[in-house]
Structure 1
Amino acid sequence: MRRERKKDQEWFNELHSNDKVIEVIGTRLLRMSGPLKIECFENCFANLEKIILRKLHLTNLEIINCSRLRNITLSELSSLESLSVCDCPELTELTELKFDNLIELKCSNTSIKKLSFKFCPNIMKLDCSNNDKLVNLDVSNCPKLEFLDCSHNKLTILDLSNCELLFKEYEKKSSNFNYPYGLKIIRRKNLVIVGRTASGKSTLSNVLADTQEFEGSERSYSVAKSFLKKYFEWEGKFYCVIDTTGVGCTKLSTKNVLDKILDGIYSMPGGISQVLFVIDERFTAEEAKLFNLLKDSIFEIGILEYTTIVKTKFSNFKDKNKCDADKEQLHNENEKIAEIVRSCRDVVYVNNPPINIDIIDDDDRITVENNKKIRQRSREILLSYLNVACQERYFKLKSWDELHKKIAKCTENENLSKVVESNQELETFTKISQEFCTFI
């Protein structure tokens, strides 16, 4: 019987019920739509080990009781609103879901270790209970999530930074939020580090996160293709530091610039807690130009309340009188710099001397140990400040959601240049990013 004379479900069962691997990719002639159910019964789908579904118009997908199923790959299912994956004990991998229209998902009784829904911004109901190997759950971009059952698994920590509705259910101890005993609920503070190359920006990121994972050489910035991110905890507070590409790097292609913008938006779904604008010994004209360009073209005026100038390489950073005197001098510099300083939340002073020097003798060893102590003191000063500065509110650009959709559409288009040129807002963003190589 010809496929068009049958329902999609009947056609699918007849064609694939004995397959080990099911791969269905929608085309102009193959347009599966509506609900689809893949369930093992009476030897149907009994051999199934892998499912790949792409470019289909499914609205509801159920995958049930497939005892041999190990891998599910779902992509470009733009109409999918409901997904259920249950009683598949051998299933270890469900690809990162990217469905704008997904509202409800149930995933239970599997061997999955990691689930991510950060690209499902409209999901409202999520049941991932009874997955006894689940150790990582990402709902960091689910502002509409109002029901979550993540009980009976191995989760120890859950970030609800951008889940206002669910966090309220947590505070009310509501039955709409079921979780394992001892689960630590956190809300991270997002710190965005911006500045020119060689200003001490990446060193500051290393000091904040107590790591050496951020590269600091000018060469690394000249070929940088993405921002770097690190999570850390300090005195019971959880932070995410994001080190952006420094000013002065090699120009990037249009697509790379758009990818950076898109990555940046996705990396901070809950918004910004504080922007740290890094300068070194002097507030130069180049830094003033960069700051004003970001303020006038990308940042909205309200973000200045969330912006702190961090002056590095300040040897007297522990002397409050010296810090106040320098701050006063900044206020009395030329009017452009003074206006910038007054518009920001504050100026913080630190000193982060190098610790990766070659040790030849005891003098070098003592120098490194002293520099470590200086950096630790700088860390304490800055994090004590951020503990007060980063309150519960997050700053989110009003245009972020709309911009994300535009960029996502553009990156799927083969002729990016023409698309960008036809959109004044994106063209402005692109020119700014190409000139100054910031991802925002």
Structure 2
Amino acid sequence: MTNFVQTIKDKEIVKKANIRGKIKGIIYFDQSNQKYVLIINKVSDLYAIRLIKYEIGITLEITINAVKRYPNLMEFYSTKEDAYEEVKEIQENPELINQCIYEIETYEDETENNILLIGVAGSGKSTLANVISNTNNCDESEGSVSKSQHFKIIDFEWNETKYRVVDTVGTGDINLTRNEVLYKMGEAIHLMKKGIKQIFVVIKSRFTNEAIEPFDYIQKIFKNVDQHITIIRTGFENFEDMEACEKDKNDLRNSNKKLASIVNQYNIIYVNNPPESKRRQVREKSRRIIMSYLESCQGNYKMENWDNVCVRINDLMNAKKWGDKNKFEKAANRMKKEIISEMDKQVGNQLNQSIRQIIQEESANTPVL
């Protein structure tokens, strides 16, 4: 079987659409005076299709106007034959062609209000995720530790607006290797394709050394994100008493310099999330406080190259999940290495700058007592 050979035009479209993997077929066609191209690519042993609407300018420059991934944003076709059968159906079906409306393919995920929860084990992150989403999808048992290395997500609606809670597993480990940081960064971008509305640093009871480690972790993963960070103080029984909340802030400011800096820099939201079986009304009050706050938050955080990175790792992330699910360890590990490599190309220099900045700050700051 001969390999598919791309023309210069093919290569330009593939590059501008950020399509990864091996290109197995390209089919051009017109529909309602619009130019389209269908591209089949192979990642690991899986196939995906992109329908791309494009135009050619006076200077012969190609502009991509819209992209749609098939069978959907996450899944694949098992064989090349299945992919080609779908290509035929797409060409002949105006309804499928009209689905090609996304400026960037990952924008098919319409959730813009993404909330990232970070905190040490036992801080109440999982409980907070349940309270915010009004679900019981996360294990709230004390001392429970998830063995999964992946983020856990919960999609929900509030006032007819879509939200997504992304619950990180365990503590934010500031001792991650560079490759681990790159992979974690890729996972976060993949789950929150339209950026981060807020990063909630969840802290329960005392602000210990361990409890404030997530702030260093965030700075290592993301850059210039401070205005999108909020502290959620859980387990605060007097959360409705403004004077008690203000007194707690002042006590924290007087503890030491680093805590004072954190309290002065970030907003603090006080809530109490007791077990649902005990005080359902208290949890509901906490939920209303947090959701009202989120409604007031403007804009999303996106690291440089966020959309570009998201598209380029989408197939790789999905293929890795497929490998994990089907116990194809070699395929999953290969995809993970490719994700790290792609992340390094896209944001490696930025990450190096962030790490250097953290090292400089750590050497300048006194330790928390």
Please tell me whether the aligned partners of residues 153 and 166 of structure 2 are also in contact (alpha carbons under 8 angstroms). Answer: yes
Q: 1:426 to 1:217 in 2, by over 3 A?
A: farther
| Residue in structure 1 matching 2:199, options 271, 275, 291 | 275
Structure 2 CA distance, aligned partners of 1:282 and 1:261? 28
CA offset at residue 225 of structure 1? Answer: 2.0
Structure 2 CA distance, aligned partners of 1:398 and 1:311? 30
1:31 paired residue number = 4
Please tell me whether the aligned partners of residues 115 and 137 of structure 1 are also in contact (alpha carbons under 8 angstroms). Answer: no
Please tell me whether the aligned partners of residues 61 and 83 of structure 1 are also in contact (alpha carbons under 8 angstroms). Answer: no
2:133 paired residue number = 209
1:75 aligns with 2:42: yes
Q: 1:140 to 1:32 in 2, by over 3 A?
A: closer
Please tell me whether the aligned partners of residues 276 and 310 of structure 1 are also in contact (alpha carbons under 8 angstroms). Answer: yes
**RMSD (Å) for aligned C-alpha atoms:** 5.0
Q: 1:372 to 1:116 in 2, by over 3 A?
A: same
Structure 2 CA distance, aligned partners of 1:32 and 1:317? 65
| Residue in structure 2 matching 1:300, options 223, 234, 240 | 223
1:397 paired residue number = 303
CA offset at residue 243 of structure 1? Answer: 0.7
3-state SS of paired residue (1:385): helix
1:326 aligns with 2:283: no
1:130 paired residue number = 95
CA offset at residue 290 of structure 1? Answer: 2.9
Structure 2 CA distance, aligned partners of 1:381 and 1:317? 10
Per-residue displacement from partner, 1:61-90 (whole Å, max 9, x unpaired)?
A: 5699xxxxxxx9852599x87559xxxxxx
1:387 paired residue number = 295
Please tell me whether the aligned partners of residues 122 and 143 of structure 2 are also in contact (alpha carbons under 8 angstroms). Answer: no
Please tell me whether the aligned partners of residues 117 and 139 of structure 1 are also in contact (alpha carbons under 8 angstroms). Answer: no
1:372 paired residue number = 280
Q: 1:299 to 1:260 in 2, by over 3 A?
A: closer
Structure 2 CA distance, aligned partners of 1:215 and 1:137? 39
1:172 paired residue number = none
Aligned residue runs from structure 1 range 61-210, under 5 A:
74-76=41-43, 115-116=72-73, 130=95, 142=105, 160=110, 188-210=112-134
1:289 paired residue number = 213
CA offset at residue 200 of structure 1? Answer: 0.2
One-letter amino acid matched to 1:284: T
One-letter amino acid matched to 2:237: S
Structure 1 CA distance, aligned partners of 2:236 and 2:223? 30
Unaligned ranges ≥5, structure 1: 1-23, 37-53, 65-71, 85-100, 120-125, 146-157, 162-187, 356-367, 433-440
Structure 2 CA distance, aligned partners of 1:142 and 1:210? 30
Q: 1:255 to 1:292 in 2, by over 3 A?
A: closer
Please tell me whether the aligned partners of residues 81 and 104 of structure 1 are also in contact (alpha carbons under 8 angstroms). Answer: no
3-state SS of paired residue (1:282): coil
Q: 1:205 to 1:384 in 2, by over 3 A?
A: same
3-state SS of paired residue (2:240): coil
CA offset at residue 260 of structure 1? Answer: 3.8
2:328 paired residue number = none
| TM-score normalised per structure 2 | 0.62
| Residue in structure 2 matching 1:350, options 257, 265, 271 | 271
Residue identity over aligned pairs, in percent, reads 30
Structure 2 CA distance, aligned partners of 1:329 and 1:229? 34
Please tell me whether the aligned partners of residues 252 and 259 of structure 2 are also in contact (alpha carbons under 8 angstroms). Answer: yes
Structure 1 CA distance, aligned partners of 2:94 and 2:123? 47
| TM-score normalised per structure 1 | 0.53
Per-residue displacement from partner, 1:69-126 (whole Å, max 9, x unpaired)?
A: xxx9852599x87559xxxxxxxxxxxxxxxx9765689xxxx9x733899xxxxxx9
Q: 1:106 to 1:288 in 2, by over 3 A?
A: closer
3-state SS of paired residue (1:348): strand
Q: Which has the higher contact order (CA 8 A, sep 6+)?
A: 2
| Residue in structure 1 matching 2:165, options 229, 241, 254 | 241
3-state SS of paired residue (1:379): helix
CA offset at residue 373 of structure 1? Answer: 1.3
CA offset at residue 33 of structure 1? Answer: 3.5
Q: 1:129 to 1:333 in 2, by over 3 A?
A: farther
Structure 1 CA distance, aligned partners of 2:261 and 2:66? 49
3-state SS of paired residue (2:210): helix
3-state SS of paired residue (1:300): coil
Please tell me whether the aligned partners of residues 51 and 100 of structure 2 are also in contact (alpha carbons under 8 angstroms). Answer: no
One-letter amino acid matched to 2:22: K
CA offset at residue 325 of structure 1? Answer: 1.3
Please tell me whether the aligned partners of residues 25 and 41 of structure 2 are also in contact (alpha carbons under 8 angstroms). Answer: no
Please tell me whether the aligned partners of residues 133 and 156 of structure 2 are also in contact (alpha carbons under 8 angstroms). Answer: yes
3-state SS of paired residue (2:207): coil
Aligned residues: 293
One-letter amino acid matched to 2:259: I
1:221 aligns with 2:178: no
One-letter amino acid matched to 1:204: L
Structure 1 CA distance, aligned partners of 2:101 and 2:74? 6
Structure 2 CA distance, aligned partners of 1:285 and 1:397? 28
CA offset at residue 277 of structure 1? Answer: 0.5
Q: 1:139 to 1:208 in 2, by over 3 A?
A: farther
One-letter amino acid matched to 1:223: K
Please tell me whether the aligned partners of residues 203 and 234 of structure 2 are also in contact (alpha carbons under 8 angstroms). Answer: yes
One-letter amino acid matched to 2:251: Q
Higher helix share: 2
1:170 paired residue number = none
